[in-house]
Amino acid sequence: MYNLIEIEPSSVEEASKQQVWKDAMDEEHQSIIKNDVWDIVPRLEGKLVVSSKWLYKIKHAADVSIEKFNARFVVRGFSQKEGIDYEETFSLVARYTSIGTIIAIAATKGCKLH
């Protein structure tokens, strides 16, 4: 379908010229909407707006064919300063060691996991 010569775009303008990247960006946008990732809020006086950008990556299968065109919309949070632009952060990420610990405790207590 695609060959290995495909090049990942470095800007939205480049990506917008190819339907596969438009589709990848649309898929990412739909995922953001579906998962209710963020809320649009009014800009507070004296606060900076955090910029964002699109990142593009071609995922290859084991046989080096193109498996997927992946687009990610990311926030450039490095411009924020704790206590000035934000007070707290939260990222729902489970570590494998935590999951393993929970499974081990459940097993020793005879609990069922769902």
Residue 5 falls inside a structural domain: no
Domain residues for the domain of 67 are: 12-109
Ramachandran angles phi, psi of 105, nearest 5°: -65, -45
Residue 30 falls inside a structural domain: yes
Residue 1 falls inside a structural domain: no
Residue 3 has pLDDT above 50, yes or no: no
What domain count does the chain have? 1
CA atoms of 83 and 21, how far apart (whole Å): 37
Residue 66 falls inside a structural domain: yes
Residue 3 falls inside a structural domain: no
In the Cβ-directed half-sphere of 31, how many Cα atoms lie within 13 Å? 10
Residue 4 falls inside a structural domain: no
Span 25-81, pLDDT tens digits: 999 999 999 998 888 888 888 777 788 899 999 998 888 888 899 999 988 777 677
Q: Are 69 and 24 in contact (CB under 8 A)?
A: yes
